[in-house]
A and B are shown apart, each in its own frame.
Chain A
Amino acid sequence: MSDVTIAEPSPARRTLGRLAWQLLPLCPFALVLAAWAIYWTIARPPPATLPAPHDVADAVWELAARGDLATHVAASLWRLLLGTSLGVLTGVIGGFVAGLNRPVAAFLNPLIVFFNAISGIVWLPLVIGWLGIGTALAVFLIWNTVFFIVFQNTALGVQLVPQVYEQGVRALGGGRWETIRSVILPGALPYILTGLRSGLGFGWRALIAAELVGATTGLGQMIYGATEFHRSDIVIGGCLIIGTIAMAMDRWLLLPIERRTIARWGLVIDARKEQ
């Protein structure tokens, strides 16, 4: 037996290490911010091209103080909520119907794939004629985006629930509805949640795009409106807010849902396999 002693890191060093690990993800942001500030100080570009970091902060603050920011964010989130709820509801129901019925699934699949390929913004020129500019348009585009993703994921999830679970419940005397309620619904949940997560991300992006082109309020419109006045500070500020909201939704909405359901059941699937 060798007599090499392995030095254990001291408790202080370990907590320091853990702290560093937690803070590491902030580094790229800090780096970008620093680079931005340094470049600006050296090159002094015109404000329309690249405003200073503090200009952006000021612009955002001003918007917030005036209450405009709140209005825009509220409008965007409201549309997102509507569109996503509709998309999830219809997507889950549709996905179940398809997943439980093999011939139906096979028949619908090519359609789903095709419409997924043109989901979202591609519908804008057509739908703007039907619904005009504003919330209805945005909600339609979001619904469109979310529906196909959730549908596909739900159908897949339903089909992949191991048959033995269903058989077990049948042997306990459970009928069709009991099977759907206690086996298929929870069993497909990991995939439904993946669909929801992707859908939400896509929906948010589609929303911004929709607002860029056809809205009177909302974050997308705020950015696009600022473009006309060459207010890059508002544009950049808006983008950062959009990104922040996306992260917040994922972290404080979806992750807890995941944790309380599928993580608790030990059923998390590979997040990389996004549909």
Chain B
Amino acid sequence: MRRTVQALRNMTVHPTASANAKIAVAGFRHFFPTADGPMQATDRVDLTIRAGEFVTLVGPSGCGKTTLLKALAGFIKPSEGTILCDGAPVRGPGRERGVVFQELAILPWRTVRRNIGHGLEIARVSRSERDRTVTRLIELTGLAGFEDRYPHELSGGMRQRVAVARTWAADPEIILMDEPFAAVDAMTRLTLQEELARLCAATKKTVFFITHSVDEAVFLGDRVLVMTRHPGRIKAVIEVPGRAAGRDWESFKADAGMQAITEQVLRLVREERGAAAASAAAVGEAHA
């Protein structure tokens, strides 16, 4: 019964996505059941991501970014709306949508090598081919020499490299990243961002990347989405031209055009933060 209703919902009039959309989100809204009743996590979200795009999403804390990502990944079922991936509705997590989490998600009981190869293991890829892919990724992500270490022996930055390598090794078409560098120290973070930009340019994936940092969003993204404060919806979409040339932080900082875009996005985000602070103060007074 529920499936019929869902199918009917899918057919109702929502802004339909263009034919070459890799990911199409329409009318997405989500509620969490709590002891005090359903809590709204996001307001209505519509967005499309084309194949090969790197889309970044910035927004204040609690706006529902992670909820959106989890729905895209298939970890949660949307309360409302549809999420289509290659035209088919998302029903659960799967190989075609790789995820890199913010917290440590690589398995502590596997070595770097075995973690990276895990997706291939699941796909029953032959040993020799698996080894080849893993070795290539270890080099690409700068993990050479650490193949047989366990995660607890690595620094935060290295662990995230392993996480990225693991996702890349499984060769999904879409990669979802939830503030993957948030817990890494500032210096390593810059390096990781540059490495990620290079990796994406070399492998042509469709990436959806959530972050707090405006700099990071503009540096990495072809398009930057700005989300409003809780409950969030997409407030603005900013195009960032010229990514194909590859990026490094020096030239990024020196480029006036890039800086202007960053200013613009920052202004949009600050509006939300200011509004969030104002409403929080109001709520505080109401409870006083």
Contacts and interface: CB of A to CB of B under 8 A. Distances in A.
A168 B170 contact: no
B123 A173 contact: yes
A7 B152 CA distance: 36
B101 A167 contact: yes
B9 to A, nearest CB: 25
Interface residues of B, number: 31
A168 B101 CA distance: 8
A178 interface: yes
Nearest to A266: B152
Interface in B53-86: 73, 75
B113 interface: no
A186 B73 CA distance: 25
B109 A171 contact: no
A168 B99 contact: yes
Interface stretch (B36-44, B89-97, B206-214, B242-250): B89-97
B118 A182 contact: yes
B153 interface: yes
Interface string A235-275: 00000000000000000000000000100111100000000
Chain A facing B: main interface SS: helix
Contacts, number: 75
Nearest to B102: A164
A183 B107 contact: yes
Interface string A136-179: 00000000000000000000000000101101111111100010
Contacts of A265: 108-109, 150, 152
Contact of B105 (A167, A182, A186): A167
A261 B163 CA distance: 22
A168 B106 contact: yes
B150 A172 contact: no
Contacts of B95: 171-173
A171 B118 contact: no
B167 interface: yes
Contact of A171 (B99, B151, B152): B99
A163 to B, nearest CB: 9
A165 B107 CA distance: 7
B103 interface: yes
Contacts of A186: 107, 109
A267 B118 contact: no
Interface in A189-240: 189
Interface string B132-158: 000000000000000000111100000
A2 to B, nearest CB: 34
Contact of B122 (A172, A261, A264): A172
B167 A171 contact: yes
A178 B119 CA distance: 11
Contact of A173 (B73, B94, B103): B94
B166 interface: yes
A267 B109 contact: yes
Nearest to A175: B122
Contacts of B180: none
Most chain B CB inside 10 Å of its own CB: which residue of A169, A173, A178, A265? A173
Contacts of A261: 109
B98 A171 contact: yes
B166 A172 contact: yes
Interface of B: 73, 75, 92-95, 97-99, 101, 103-110, 118-119, 122-123, 150-153, 163, 166-167, 170, 176
24 contacts: A164-B103, A167-B75, A167-B93, A167-B99, A167-B101, A168-B99, A168-B101, A168-B107, A168-B163, A168-B166, A169-B107, A169-B122, A170-B94, A171-B97, A171-B99, A172-B95, A172-B167, A173-B95, A173-B119, A178-B122, A183-B107, A265-B108, A265-B150, A266-B150
